[in-house]
A and B are shown apart, each in its own frame.
Chain A
Amino acid sequence: MTPMLEMNHVSKLYGEHHALKDLSFQVHEGEILCFLGPNGAGKSTAIHILSTVLSYNEGRISFRGTRVEEQLSHYKRKLGIVPQDLAIYEDVTAEGNVTFFASLYGLRGDMLRERVAEALQFVGLYDRRGDKPRTFSGGMKRRLNMACAIAHRPEILIMDEPTVGIDPHSRNHILESIRELRDQGSTILYTTHYMEEVEEISTRILIIDQGEVIASGTKEELKELLGDEKWIEVELEDASELSEERLFRVDGVKQVEKHDNLLRIATVKGIENTDKLMAFFVNHGIKVKHFTSLAASLEAVFLQLTGRKLRD
């Protein structure tokens, strides 16, 4: 089956710096593909390239099998973008904002009015449609930002960190809306560095780091990458006296990484050694501040693949 959107060996250079390195992936109809990666991983660069505002140095991007450059206007019409920065007019009403952006996509007359009302209802701002965004909370502005992107019913919706810095209520509202859009058959490409969001809404995940895809698959498939390992994170008051080699004497310990007072320990799944590890620190007179088990999570996958945490 021809993928809806495909990025093929795309590279983007800023001087000597590779923002994207030979990036390839496909987006299939009806899925929510999540881009997961730390800040600066290249997620926004990929989004800007897909939205055609940023050029690229090598590679090819296709929409339904045809190069995007050969069908630019058609492609843009099918695309809805929710940018990371709020792209709304503060002194124009919510309705005015959605109407303006929707009309740029060729909607007019009754259809325009219907779609605008529908989009505002969808994001829960219909009752505030006559108000100007400068009177809105941060979360409401984010929701309006989203309404401006969906009124023309795009075939593929690209959302660049749409929940950054908002209250839990608005965040839940946005995530709920995304699930609803997926149920209606929309295809969504979603970037974030919040793995909880990815766990909640994704049908497939692409983990990006330093401009490269380092893993992809469903969350279950990705967790499989952890194999028979589970990760434990221990924060010590003072780890200077600790000898890492001795930790290997504890049952199941396979790998130890030490960053100042922070230890990351990989242990064999199935061997219950939490008590033994705690006893180890107590016996050595080392005070433990935090002890966390990174059970099979995407965070642990990212840690295993890169040796760093998502928000390091």
Chain B
Amino acid sequence: MAQFVQSTRGFGMLWKRDFMNLLTSPVMLLTNTLFPLLLILILGYLTRGQYGDTVTSYDYYGITLLVFHALNVSMTASNSFMERKLRASNMRVLYSPIRTSWVYLSKILATFVFTTLCMGMLAVLLVVLFGVYFGGKDAVYVFVALALFHLFSAAFGVWFCCLWKSEELANKILNVVNNVLALMGGLFFSWDSLGRTAETLSYFSPVKWVVDGLFRIVYDGSLWSFIPLVSGLLIGTALLLLGCKWTFRTEEMV
């Protein structure tokens, strides 16, 4: 029992360190706050002529680009995990008596908390600046689903690092994969209008499922998509954690 408590404390310390590493990195802060805000501002402004007053371009991009931000959380996670400067220190953590799995779990959790807080801040700014509609009383479901997508994405980024054994390679691939998934998920423009094949293909992108589910909650007031969406994200996260367990080898950190 005493060992468990001590080990848990160790996890707390590790998590705090990982969280602080993210918080004190200017690039991570900008990528998770200013970049999505700027993207929403630009795309919202550019396309406002294509929307009416009931649903504005800011309403559309406010949600789709928060999903895009959530998707890119994977890159934040991989950065916090195996970034060159942190690698040796992470290695040293492995010498300590805490569980090996806690090294990557801590990164996932720290990324999740950090990016979810950033999302919360972004959401407040979007409501205040552009009056983005997040579903009124159903907004809580939207943010729970988005937060779980952050968790899924963080787990995805860390698993990708375990798989490729290098943050740099993982990030470079994720950079491209995320943009493709975002395009296919219709985050920037109506991908489905490229035809039936494109529409079918788009369902391979988890982004499509998330964004469809969110719009159903916000605009139809329908919560039937909430449970499958949340369950899907949780199951996906669990599978990715298993993936991390199978692919994370301490000797590859040596």
Give the residues from 1 to 45 in chain B that come closer than 8 angstroms, CB to CB, to chain A.
Answer: 3, 6-7, 9-10, 13-14, 17, 20-21, 24
Give the residues from 88 to 107 in chain B that come closer than 8 angstroms, CB to CB, to chain A.
Answer: 88-89, 91-98
B118 touches A (CB below 8 Å): no
Residue of A nearest to B99 (CB): A73
Classify chain B: how many residues form its interface, as a range.
20 to 34
Stretch at the interface among B200-208, B212-220, B246-254: B246-254
- State the 6 A-B residue pairs at the shortest beta-carbon distance, nearest first: A87-B92, A104-B96, A76-B97, A87-B88, A106-B6, A53-B250
| A interface secondary structure, majority | loop
Contacts of B92 in A (CB 8 A): 81, 83, 87, 101, 148
Stretch at the interface among A88-96, A217-225, A270-278: A88-96
CB of A86 within 8 A of CB of B250, answer no
B85 touches A (CB below 8 Å): yes
CB of B95 within 8 A of CB of A100, answer no
Residue from B7, B85, B94, B253 having most chain A Cβ neighbours under 10 A: B94
Task: Decide yes or no: A53 and B14 within 8 Å by CB, A73-B3, A108-B9 being known contacts.
Answer: no
Q: In the complex the two chains form, what is the Cα distance from A229 to B13 in whole Å? A: 58
CB of A54 within 8 A of CB of B254, answer yes
CB of A104 within 8 A of CB of B91, answer no
CB of A87 within 8 A of CB of B91, answer yes
Contacts of B20 in A (CB 8 A): 92
Residue of A nearest to B13 (CB): A103
Q: In the complex the two chains form, what is the Cα distance from A148 to B21 in whole Å? A: 18
CB of A53 within 8 A of CB of B253, answer yes
Pick the contact of B88: A53, A76, A85, A101 (CB < 8 A): A85
Residue of A nearest to B85 (CB): A90
CB of B97 within 8 A of CB of A53, answer no
Contacts of A86 in B (CB 8 A): 88
Contacts of B88 in A (CB 8 A): 83, 85-88
16 A-B pairs whose Cβ atoms sit less than 8 Å apart in the complex: A48-B251, A48-B254, A51-B95, A53-B250, A53-B251, A54-B251, A55-B251, A73-B3, A76-B96, A76-B97, A85-B88, A88-B89, A92-B17, A103-B13, A104-B97, A148-B92
